[in-house]
């Protein structure tokens, strides 16, 4: 199994769709939950489904999941997501961590008050780094591959788009 994870705005969905297509694997996405009272329950159900699919021998690309459950529960002081740690231990996935510089994340969020404030963005980014470091330091939770999406990705994409438009 391959888990693609990282803060909102780093390109998880696009990357996981591409990866799923390239590898010919089904993709499962943990959708955001608006009802904060139900987040942990829905996360537990999602993680149980991932473990069940793994037990059936189904290989997947998972767009957000266990790691996000751990990160967001820590940042927003929710219940400890034992189910997420159980999933990582059970499946031992390859985790593709898409990370991004905090300042660029704030730009990608567009300071949208509906999502997170600057303090929360910084806390989320830092906690992802912390959890990935923990996973790298411990055995039995899978392998972590980090891709930094910070390095001018937005400018590069704009330049490529401009070149395409000029060429037409």
pLDDT tens, N- to C-terminus, the chain (168 residues)? 999 999 988 888 888 999 999 899 999 998 776 666 677 888 889 999 999 999 999 999 999 989 998 998 898 888 778 899 999 999 999 999 998 888 877 777 765 556 677 788 889 999 999 999 999 888 888 899 888 888 655 554 455 444 544 444
Rounded CA separation 99/22 (Å): 21
First to last CA, the chain: 41
| Domain housing 106 | 2-167
* Contact between residue 114 and residue 121 where contact means Cβ atoms under 8 Å apart: no
CATH number, domain at 124?
3.40.50.300
Name the nearest CA neighbour of 104 among 53, 155, 70. Answer: 155
Rounded CA separation 135/142 (Å): 7
Number of domains in the chain: 1
* Contact between residue 28 and residue 50 where contact means Cβ atoms under 8 Å apart: yes
C-alpha torsion angle, residues 153, 133, 97, 141 (rounded to 10): 170
Residue 149: CB atoms within 10 A of its CB come to 21
Name the nearest CA neighbour of 141 among 94, 98, 96. Answer: 94
């Amino acid at each position: 199994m391959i888990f693609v994870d990282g803060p909102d705005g780093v390109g998880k969905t696009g990357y996981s769709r591409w990866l799923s297509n390239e590898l010919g694997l089904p993709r499962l996405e943990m959708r955001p939950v608006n009802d904060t009272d139900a987040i942990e329950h829905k996360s537990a159900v999602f993680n149980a489904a991932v473990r069940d699919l793994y037990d059936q021998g189904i290989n997947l690309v998972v767009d957000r999941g266990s790691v996000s459950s751990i990160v967001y529960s820590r940042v927003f002081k929710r219940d400890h997501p034992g189910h997420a740690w159980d999933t990582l231990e059970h499946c031992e996935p390859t985790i593709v961590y898409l990370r991004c510089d905090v300042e660029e994340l704030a730009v990608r969020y567009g300071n949208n008050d509906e999502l997170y404030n600057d303090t929360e963005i910084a806390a989320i980014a830092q906690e992802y780094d912390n959890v990935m470091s923990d996973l790298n330091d411990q055995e039995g939770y899978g392998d972590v591959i980090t891709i930094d999406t910070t390095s001018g990705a937005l400018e590069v994409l704009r330049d490529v788009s401009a070149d395409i438009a000029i060429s037409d």
